[in-house]
Every structure is written in C-alpha cells, then in structure tokens.
Amino acid sequence: MELNYYTSEDKVLLAVDCIIFGFDKHHLKILLVKRNIEPEKGKWSLIGGFLKQDENLDEAAARVLETLTGLHDIYMEQLYAYSKIDRDPGNRTISVAYFALIDVASHQFEGVQLESAQWFDLEEAPKLIFDHDQMVVKAVSRLRRRALTMPIGFELLPEKFTMRQLQTLYESILDKKLDKRNFVNKINSLDILIKLDEKDMTVARKGAYLYTFDKEKYDRKVAEDGFSFKI
C-alpha cells in the first residue's frame, strides 16, 4: 500500500536542462531547439524535460537527451540547480542543469525534435528563454576549468585528430590564442597521445599526422603524479 506522508507540503516540478557542446574541428558549438510548447513557444531553448517518479536526475537527463536528439553514452555532468521562484512562468519549477560534450561530425541525430534542433557557434548563439543563458555561462565556465585539469576536451574530438585540431579546440574552449610551439611542447610533455602513421591529407600538401588519446597512460599518470593541462 502506498503511503502519502507529505500531502500537506507544497508540490513543485523538477526539470532537467541539457547544455550540449560540440566541436566541428573549427568552432565550439552549442545545440539549441525551438520550443514547441507554451510558454515561449517558438523561441530558442536548451533541450529539457521533467523528472519522472521512477528515475533519478542522471537517468532523467540521459532520457531527455536521447529522446530529443537520439544521443546516448556521451559525456554528461551535472552542473547546478536553478530555483528562482519565477524562473518559469508556466509553473513553479526547479531545474537541474547538465552539460554534455560530443564530437559534432561523429553523431547523427535521430530524436523526435531533430527538425527544430540547430547548432550555433557559441559566440553567435541567440538569446534563450527563462534563465537558460545563465546556465550556458556557468557551463562554459565549468568546461574551461575542466579542460585545464582533466582530458575532457578529447570528448569533443573524433578518435583520430591532428595537433592543430587539438590546439583549435583548446583555443575555442579557453577563448584565447595559444602559441603553437608552447602548446605542442606542453602536449608532448604530458605524454598522453599516440602518434599514428596516418596523416590527414586535407589540411596541407604534405598532410598532418593524426593522433589518438591514450586513456590508459593518462589514468596511470594521474594515479602516480596527478595531472594538469594548464597551458
């Protein structure tokens, strides 16, 4: 028998909103959708939905992401809870924000909102509904901190990448230009990449060597010495 001990307490809705970052080898991007319900129907929004009674927050975020985009098994991290009383004019709603990282070229969208989803360069993204712009600002700040302390950036790259693509990614995340020689020396000193015999012949006449991330070596180095990506 189900017991309801808290019937006298106020009820509020609990939502999850997903900030999805992508990288297309040139720019850091964010995936947005045009909202298909009121309030603010037709305006740009983060991808979101509501918590169900039979799931926890992480499960809800994963479900919302897969249902609306077809994406699953990607890097996702809980960001922050937003509880301003009037943040959502539709109802009293608390939102827990998550951010996710994907390589744009490696993922095909199959979700039900595919027709309304669009990638924007981060610096050119439109104004968003409710407090979603605040969520994006906080997610970018978290992404920058993570990029300097763990290999989170490799979640945004294909399995094989050039050193230039890696530098461009970090420049996009950190929003600053990096000296090529210093960057390459720093990455080489970390000793966490595997240089392949293959080349990307589309970037230069002689091509550019491809690399992959060596997660096993990274895990050993963290266990032994700690780690820092600060450049």
pLDDT for the residue numbered 109: 62
Q: Does the pLDDT at position 86 exceed 90?
A: yes
* Predicted local distance difference test score (pLDDT) of residue 113: 54
Residue 14 · residue 51 · CB < 8 Å? yes
pTM for this one?
A: 0.90
132-136: which pairs have CB atoms within 8 A and are 24 or more residues apart? Answer: 132/17, 132/45, 132/46, 134/82, 135/17, 135/19, 135/46, 135/79, 135/80, 135/82, 135/95, 135/97, 136/19, 136/30, 136/46
| 148, burial (CB in 10 Å: exposed 0-12, middle 13-18, buried 19+) | middle
| The CATH homologous superfamily of the domain defined by 13-149 | Nucleoside Triphosphate Pyrophosphohydrolase (3.90.79.10)
* Joined tokens for residue 9: 């307490």
Render pLDDT for 11-50 as a digit per residue (tens, 0 to 9).
999 999 999 999 988 899 999 999 988 999 999 999 999 9
Please calculate the CA angle 209-212-214 and round it to the nearest 5 degrees.
Answer: 140
Residue 138: what residue type? K
Region 159-225: CATH code:
1.10.10.10
Q: Rounded to an integer, what distance in angstroms lies between the CA atom of residue 153 and that of residue 121? A: 17
As a whole number of angstroms, the distance between CA 107 and CA 69 comes to: 10
Nearest-angstrom CA–CA distance, 70 and 166: 26
Residue 169 has pLDDT above 60, yes or no: yes
Q: How confident is the model at residue 228 (pLDDT cuts 50, 70, 90)?
A: confident
Q: Which of 38-47, 194-203, 222-231 has the lowest mean pLDDT?
A: 222-231
| Residue, of 218 and 134, whose pLDDT is higher | 134
pLDDT of res. 42: 92
- Nearest CA-CA partner of 135 in 148, 125, 147: 125
Query: Scanning the structure block, which residue is given the tokens 């589309």?
Result: 202
Mean of all residue pLDDT scores within the chain: 90
Cβ(171)–Cβ(153) under 8 Å? no
Res. 195: pLDDT tops 90:
yes
Q: CB of 65 within 8 A of CB of 47?
A: yes
Provide the residue ranges of all domains of the chain, joining segments of one domain with +: 13-149, 159-225
Q: Which of 4-8, 87-91, 107-111, 175-179 has the lowest mean pLDDT?
A: 107-111
